[in-house]
Structures are given as structure tokens and as C-alpha cells.
Amino acid sequence: MLAWIGAVCILVLVFSAWPLLKRLAETFTSPTEHKLHPAPPLAFICKPSALYNYQLQHCKSFCKPADPHCGSAWTWRSSGVLQTVFGALWPYDSTIHFVRDHLQLSDDGLVSLDWAFSGAGTHPKRRRTSSNSTSPILLIIPNSFGKITRNVQKLCEAAVNHGYLPVVFNRRSQNGTPLSTVKLQQFGDPADLREAVRYIRYRQPAGRLYAVSESTGSGLLLSYLGECGSSSYVTAAACLSPIFRCQSWFESGPTWPFNWALVLYQKMCLSRYRTALGEMIHTESLFSSSSLRAMEETLFCQAGLKGAQVEGVWEAYWERNDPLRDVDEVAIPVLCVCSRDDPVRGEPQSTLPLELFESNPHFFLLLTAQGGHCGFSVPEEGPVLWSHQALLEFFRATTDFFAAEERAKQACRRRGLSGVGKTFRHRSVSSCKRIPTCSHNIHAIYNWQRSYTR
């Protein structure tokens, strides 16, 4: 109930400021400025490679931007603020039902996995053991605040309709997950996610695993991919409106309405565990905080039991939790979908690491002129959002590309043009950075010299 009250307050604030927002948009985007600094409706930024060429040929969404105008007059979809509010708070009557698994971790903590199923037909069984189904699994990581948005619900629905088995990862204490230990997950600590992936591989050992993250949840996904490298068991991944420079984002924060809304929502979620958290932190400081940085410092940057904050702890915290700290170790293709008018991330010139996409062959950036933060809504979008269609096409094209590469390698082996290699197979147990091979024999498929970066 409190969450809905906060959502209504935000909607009232935004729509009450509608005339001012429209006037400012018309003022700051004059025709002369558009002529001098035209922004392309859609830019596909990455290092040229064979996979890049294949994506351009087989992903129609990469050549068709999410145009909120569609040739008509100015609408609310032209505002990044309204796109963001709509995607985060507008209710959606989904046909998807969830079956929850609580996973006990090695330190007795609990995370939950919500398996999505279509509402049609019989209700799925409550508990299931490992399956021999070959359906691909789509691991969805919501934002770091645990809010299940309209964007996540529509993604689950689109994934089910395209033959995927979606599963939503819920962190400790989030989205109704019990807090069994006085420990919360740090922003970029992938330990809990690593155990969840092992469980998913045990339960569905025959299906390929793909991963999608939303907003600040991308920090966790990128941390996991960087730390695990070629042992991540993920075939391909996508980040919707990711936050890359997280330390500076927490320090400066998003614009005032969004900063206030995120702080309020996090306080409401943590208030349920006020007594338990009081054993470790100063809850008075936590619930009197007015910024995201202050809350993060109170939760994770104290020295000892209820200790005071000391100099250098904040910087040390981000050395351990920066999503890009091990970005060079990422060994799978990653698609990032962003917009220039994202009011939560900030200006693209200072918040998007364009050099990463231009130099690293694993990272691909779809940058739209408009779309807000996890919005990308168009007047006639149909059942699947443009951003969701783009990432589903990216997954399919990437899989087809490497399947063709593997067939070519096997043909060479049969002709005696190369040595005998390992076959394409799955593994049911993962151990990050301890096992040199992974479930999809990533070292054989990603043949850098022969095809991937040519």
C-alpha cells in the first residue's frame, strides 16, 4: 500500500508539471539546434567484427528505432521523464503467473527465483525437480531496489511467447523474499547470483541460459560476467538502460524527483527489517538519509559493529563493487540498450563509456534518441516492446552465428584441417574462475583469430 501511495505521489507531481515540461522541451529543442546538432534516431555502436555484420543482417530492430512520434505531433512519449514513469509505475494486466523457489545460500541467506508461466492451460506444479527440457532459460535481474516494473512484466510475457522459460532473480529481502540473516547484498557482489545460476543449471541442465538486467540491476549482471569470465554459463546477455559509472551516479544522484522516489522506496522496503538491521547499523541514520549515497554508506561502509564511517571506505567499497572492474574478463556478447534522454542515468557524454563499445568486441550499444529510462514505448508497439524485440533478436542471431561457426569448425576437423577439439556440451555445475572450460565450450566457439574479430 505504501509503495502505491509513493507511486501516486510521483504521478501527481509529474502530470501537474506537464505544461512546464512541454514548454521546456519546446524551448530547449528548437529547430535551429536540431539542424546544427542532429541526433540520429538510432545508433549501433561497437567494434567491427563478423558478429557485428551478422547482427546487422539478421536483427531488424537494429535498423528500426523506437520512434515515439511516428510522424505525428508532439506526444507524452517524446518526454524521457514520462516514458520513465510510465515504464516503472503504470499498471499492466499481465497473463503471466509466477512459481517461486526459495534458494538457501551457503551462509544460510535466502534469495528467491520466480519462474514465469503463461496463464493459459493448467497451473504449473508448485515444486519441480531437474528437467530435461531444452527450452532456453531467460534469467531476468530487476533493478537493485527490487521493484518489479511494467518493463519486467512485459519482458516475461514476451519471453514466454517466444519459447523461453523466464526466471526472475530476487535479492535478499526484496520482493517478499525473507531476510534470514542480517546481511544485505552489496551493489556489485555476484556471490548470491553465482549460487542461483548453479541452481538454475541443475534444474534445467539441457537449456541454454541467457540473461537480461534492468537499470541498476545491470551492475550485478556485469559484475557476475566479469568475475566468472568464460565460466558464466551464459550464452549472451543484455542490459536495458544500464548505469555504468555507478560511484559517480550514487554521489551525484539522478534528478530530484527520481532521487526522492528511489530513497523513499528503499526506506519503505527496509522498514520491515528495522529491528533486525538495528543490530548491525545505525537505523536512525539510515531512515533519516536523504540521498542514495548516504543510504549506501550507512548499509555497507561502516567500520565494525555499528561503527562510524571512516575515510577511504567509500572508495574501497566501489573498488569491490564497480560493475566495470573486471570488464575485460567478459567472454560473451553483451547488448546494451540506452537512450539519450534517460533522466535517471544522466547525460550520455559523461555517463556512457563509449570507448568500451568501440574497443571491446563483446559489447554492443543500441543508442536511441528517445525512450527514457527503461521506457522505449511507441504508439503502436504491439505486444512486444521495441527494446525487448531487439534483445530477443540479438539472442537468436548470436546463437545462430556461433552455431554456424561450430559447424564450420567441425567440417574443418572432418577434412583434417585442424586438430581434434572438444565437443559442444553442457555442464551442470559451475565454479567461477576455477574451471577453465564452461558449459558451451566457449574457448572453441569464440575463435577470435578466425572469425569473431575479422
Q: In terms of C-beta density within 10 A (0-12 exposed, 13-18 middle, 19 or more buried), how is residue 216 classed? A: buried
Question: Which one from 342, 362, 388, 440 is the annotated catalytic residue?
Answer: 342
Task: Give the type of residue at 161.
Answer: N
Longest dimension (CA), the chain: 72
Task: Give the type of residue at 334.
Answer: V
| Contact of 48 with 451, CB cutoff 8 Å | no
Instruction: Classify the C-alpha dihedral 202-203-205-208 as positive or negative.
Output: negative
* Residue 342 annotated in active site: yes
CA distance 151 to 374: 7
What beta strand segments (E) does 385-424 contain?
Answer: none
Cβ count near 48 (within 10 Å): 11
| Contact of 60 with 386, CB cutoff 8 Å | no
CA distance 379 to 389: 16
Q: Give the pairing type, strands 363-368 and 165-170.
A: unpaired
Which residues, in sequence order, are bridge partners of residue 339? 368
Question: Which one from 362, 373, 388, 440 is the annotated catalytic residue?
Answer: 373
Q: Give the pairing type, strands 209-214 and 334-339.
A: unpaired
Q: Give the pairing type, strands 209-214 and 42-45.
A: unpaired
Count of residues for the chain? 454
- Give 303's contacts (C-beta < 8 A, 6+ positions apart): 309, 310, 313
| Contact of 321 with 223, CB cutoff 8 Å | yes
* Residue 322 annotated in active site: no
Task: Provide Rg for the chain, Cα atoms.
Answer: 22
- Which residues belong to the active site? 342, 373
